Structure 1
Amino acid sequence: MAIKQTGDIAAQRLSSEQLSCEFADIAPLLDATAAAAAASRCHYCYDAPCVQACPTQIDIPGFIRKIGNGNLKGAATDILSANPLGGMCARVCPTEILCEGACVRNHQDAKPVAIGALQRHATDWAIARDAVQFRRAADSGRHVAVVGAGPAGLACAHRVAVAGHRVTIYDARDKGGGLNEYGIAAYKTVDDFAQREVQWLLSVGGIELKTGVALGRDVTLDALRQQHDAVFLAMGLGGVRALELEGESLSGVMNAVDFIEQVRQAKDLSTVPVGRRVVVIGGGNTAVDAAVQSRKLGATSVTMVYRRGVESMSATWAEREFAQTQRVTLVTHAKPVRLIAGDGTVTGVEFERVAREGSVERFIVEADMVLKAIGQTLVPVGLDRELLTLDGSRIAVDADMRTSLDKVWAGGDCAASGGVDLTVQAVQDGKLAAASIDAAFALAAVKAA
């Protein structure tokens, strides 16, 4: 959904040159000297805590040692063997609370090894040169359907293909990548990296990507089960929570995920309309990405408002600090109670906050653009109720990503796997599902023998 241009919402707030600077890579590549210096700080710990903190269990000391020795191909092979989307994860993982947060260097000089930057150094080198390829096993005759070409679906497809099974990925969008393509801030993944990574992953062979195909609209789950030996559901969370306030249909009010997609898919950033005074409601990474990109597009003021304290925000401390360095104002312990309108267009948001003495105070933040980022939800179109958790919010799975339906697995954000809603966790879900599917095929072969 593209936002309409109204009085204070307009495109080309900044020149193309300014936008180019604003949306430049926020974490440019290390050069060889910097990478060697960063690698030299690693202690190569036995039973390394950084590995334990990584959902995909990458051998971090191992790949860092290889970088230090100048063996980038070996380093990239280690990374991509554990995480086939290691390039994107190096860009978007909250390393500050995962691998780098667990680094023993934090207890020595309060500065962890730059694991994320080193991972990107190796994977970018390898993908740019097509230097790492995985060899497929002999064709098994099995065929797996994957619904959703996001991180979980792609990771599962890659592992299944390497095991020798054929894969067809069905995705409702025009391009593969899922959130990596449509839902991450443009300044985190420049130069069309999401698509380059998808193409590298598909080059393993045995994988067909069919775009523009939606479950429940173009294909049914029953049909997929009949046509394939296994189905992996990885469609993510396609719905957006509503504020449930009068005025959500006002001009100038938009879902933050739609705004982020509009920025990511724009061929020319100067054509993306943005308000002068933007209010973002929410406290997660989507809220931060929307707020920062509003600023970078030329908004005069951007206020991010969250109903609880900073300790409850799903955006990490690093994301919050980055938003504030981009001149985003953060307001906490305030919930929206009213969207204020003027001639059918939003002009502000009224918030309510409980003061220390228990009194309730209300205040208004003027806005000509309001971006809602209070969470995403599962759209269960094409899914039987028996597949869902009791509250219907996710697909129920066991430890091997199996659902209650024979031949059907699920993973990523759409599944109640017990992990966190992160790209790296979605990749791990896809890996676990692929291993379980492969094991199921092996067991079936033994029984048939």
Structure 2
Amino acid sequence: MSSSQRRPGVVPGRLDPADYAAAFADCAPPLDPHRARVAADRCYFCHDAPCTAACPTGIDIPLFIRQIATGTPEAAARTILSANILGGTCARVCPTEVLCEGNCVRVAAGEAPVEIGLLQRFATDRAMAAPQPFTRAAATGRRIAVVGAGPAGLACAHRLAMLGHEVTIHEARPRPGGLNEYGLAAYKMVDDFAAREIDWLMGIGGITIEHGRVLGADLNLADLRDGFDAVFLGLGLGGTNALDCPGADLAEPATDFIARLRQADDLSEVPVGRRVVVIGGGMTAIDAAVQARLLGAEDVAIVYRRDRDAMPASEHEQDHATSAGVRIVECAAPKALARTDAGIAVAFAYTEAGPDGLVVTDETFTLTADQVFTAIGQTLLPPEGFETQRGRIAIGPAGRTSVPGVWAGGDCAQGGEELTVTAVAQGRDAALDIHASLQG
């Protein structure tokens, strides 16, 4: 049990038992067939579709929407899943408001965009109710090791299995899924969707997952290179940035809170403070703050060092947080945390944008909380022997690293954007390059 769970004022069961299901209900309920046809009819089916250009996996969006409009959602699902095997998760968690929907031509005309995310979910949910439409090619006799069962590793493994290779995924945690299983808000991934999607994905065959396998501990890269024909690293980001101020140990990484909540069998047993402060401005900060409110916290504040326009979280997600009752405090940086009789006092200083960057002013204020979370970025300790760029594994075209026979993708690699859809694209493209390399 973490220190934050033992603190006075951080307790489980703040809601009546019957209220948890309602609080954590699906935040974007699916379309029924009639609504899906109506939504699909709004698409112009652009030839040079800006929505497709904005999708990291390059899904042919006009095609799959036309297939829904003509009453063939199964064909639409195949179009989606051929490009993005985790299209079900991406339909739920992608920042569509800044990617495909944000580039819809209807937006330029001052109209609401086509509901691409919900239409994608409509199609992929139907596909997952049946065995997957993909089959394996003839066995090649080649064996590939994938390190990490997150979105990048799963996408890479599935494509390699389709191409006839045998894949062994080495995963450190007890359950596969990476960010999808441990790091996304529960109200976006209801009904254990991440696990169900992986079970469906594994139906392709040819993939084995070994759990409790940690690179650098009981898993040696040299042994993997000797024992397999190729290696793909989809390590994710294992570390979190800590506050650089006195009392930093009184705060807990928001990722730990989210993972604890996602793995809870009973949400009423997850402790939460009456007053919660989240330091940061990205999606992790939003997810932690909103879920603290849903668990029964009365006063939740996100504090970000710049203004709202500069927050990494999209305007849509910011609005979702404020509609859930979360306060967003702009232009403030933490100075110190201290234990008091009233809880944890977090001192902040207001900031200003200066010609040489952010300036911390002498004007301060204090927020008192029972629980403080940090969401100020995650880090990677790259394996030895790899070229790196800005703390991540440097990769060339299609994920090739500086180490022969080793590819990488997802958040651990250069260009990783901490998005499921980007990780899927990198894992898929690396698989295709691995296959081409093995075939000479």
Q: Give the C-alpha shift of residue 354 in structure 1.
A: 3.7
**What does residue 429 of structure 2 align with?**
432
- Amino acid aligned to 2:411: D
> After superposition, what is the alpha-carbon deviation per residue over 1:108-156, rounded to whole angstroms, capped at 9, x for unaligned?
34200000000000101110223x3211110001000000000000000
Q: Is the 8 A contact 1:339 1:346 kept in 2?
A: no
- Are residues 1:161 and 2:158 paired? no
Moved more, 2-11 or 121-130: 2-11
**What does residue 406 of structure 2 align with?**
408
Moved more, 226-235 or 238-247: 238-247
Q: For the residues of structure 2 that align with 1:356 and 1:158, how far apart are their CA atoms?
A: 46
**What does residue 19 of structure 2 align with?**
18
Q: Give the C-alpha shift of residue 188 in structure 1.
A: 0.3
Specify whether residues 87 and 307 from structure 1 end up closer, same or farther in structure 2 by C-alpha distance, changes over 3 A only: same
Q: For the residues of structure 1 that align with 2:381 and 2:287, how far apart are their CA atoms?
A: 23
Q: Give the C-alpha shift of residue 249 in structure 1.
A: 2.4
**What does residue 102 of structure 1 align with?**
103
Q: Is the 8 A contact 2:248 2:336 kept in 1?
A: no
Q: Give the C-alpha shift of residue 390 in structure 1.
A: 5.2
**What does residue 179 of structure 1 align with?**
179
Give the count of matched residue pairs: 434
- Are residues 1:48 and 2:46 paired? no
**In structure 1, the residue corresponding to 2:5 is in which secondary structure?**
coil
**What does residue 35 of structure 1 align with?**
36
- Amino acid aligned to 1:369: Q
**What does residue 367 of structure 1 align with?**
369
Q: Is the 8 A contact 1:280 1:291 kept in 2?
A: yes
Specify whether residues 289 and 403 from structure 1 end up closer, same or farther in structure 2 by C-alpha distance, changes over 3 A only: same
**What does residue 327 of structure 1 align with?**
325
Moved more, 215-224 or 101-110: 101-110
Gaps of 5+ in 2: none
- Are residues 1:349 and 2:346 paired? yes
> What are the within-5 Å matches in structure 2 for residues 222-237 of structure 1?
222-237=222-237
One of 299, 307, 310 as aligned partner of 2:308: 310
Q: Give the C-alpha shift of residue 37 in structure 1.
A: 0.4
Q: Give the C-alpha shift of residue 419 in structure 1.
A: 4.9
Q: After the TM superposition, which parts of structure 1 deviate over 3 Å for at least 4 consecutive aligned residues?
A: 354-359
**What does residue 112 of structure 1 align with?**
113
**What does residue 262 of structure 1 align with?**
260
Q: Percent identity?
A: 53
**What does residue 84 of structure 1 align with?**
85
Q: For the residues of structure 1 that align with 2:426 and 2:104, how far apart are their CA atoms?
A: 24
Q: For the residues of structure 1 that align with 2:167 and 2:353, how far apart are their CA atoms?
A: 58
Q: For the residues of structure 2 that align with 1:356 and 1:101, how far apart are their CA atoms?
A: 28
Q: Give the C-alpha shift of residue 361 in structure 1.
A: 0.4
TM-score norm. by structure 1 comes to: 0.94
One of 376, 380, 393 as aligned partner of 2:378: 376
Q: For the residues of structure 1 that align with 2:233 and 2:439, how far apart are their CA atoms?
A: 21
Q: Is the 8 A contact 1:403 1:410 kept in 2?
A: yes
Q: For the residues of structure 2 that align with 1:282 and 1:414, how far apart are their CA atoms?
A: 21
Specify whether residues 128 and 353 from structure 1 end up closer, same or farther in structure 2 by C-alpha distance, changes over 3 A only: same
Specify whether residues 356 and 117 from structure 1 end up closer, same or farther in structure 2 by C-alpha distance, changes over 3 A only: closer
- Amino acid aligned to 2:140: S
Q: Is the 8 A contact 2:80 2:87 kept in 1?
A: yes
Q: Is the 8 A contact 2:13 2:268 kept in 1?
A: yes
Q: Is the 8 A contact 1:263 1:272 kept in 2?
A: yes
Gaps of 5+ in 1: 444-449
Structural RMSD (CA): 1.5
> What are the within-5 Å matches in structure 2 for residues 54-73 of structure 1?
54-73=55-74
**In structure 2, the residue corresponding to 1:12 is in which secondary structure?**
coil
